[in-house]
Amino acid sequence: MMRWPRPATRASEQDANNLLRACQRHLANDGSTIIAVTAATPGQPGTTHTEHEQVLLPAAKAAGLRHLHDIVPLPATDGRDSFTYTTAPADTASDRDTDPDTPRQTTSTTLVIFGHPRRRP
């Protein structure tokens, strides 16, 4: 498991290529590489999840890895986060919540899972 974006990275495409190639070389046939992607939420300043994916997905493919799935946190009604598997953006409760006292997240973290091309999700 590693985080993205990596600290002090200027050339994100090359860094992603190097990182995922190294992971692929050390990955067992049934193993997974998990990248915790921290992104700005829509409408907030910063790099979005889509922009991070535009770097990571081609780098994974070039390294011979397959995008298996994403794990995304969703706010739960009891105030704790729960996780769900998805590969597409979803409407969450925080997007619909209009209570002005509810703190707003300005970043979100998604776990992006990669594996060998023959590995099933």
Mean of the pLDDT values across residues 9-13? Answer: 76
Cα angle for residues 72, 87, 35 (degrees, 5° grid):
55
Indicate whether this model's pTM tops 0.75. Answer: no
pLDDT in tens, 68-119: 999 887 666 666 655 554 443 443 434 434 444 444 455 788 999 999 988 8
Residues whose CB falls within 8 Å of the CB of residue 119, separated by 6 or more in sequence, listed in order? 29, 30, 32, 66, 68
Average per-residue pLDDT in the chain? 78
pLDDT(41) > 60? yes
Rounded Cα gap, residues 42 and 102, in angstroms? 17
Domain locations in the chain as residue ranges: 2-115
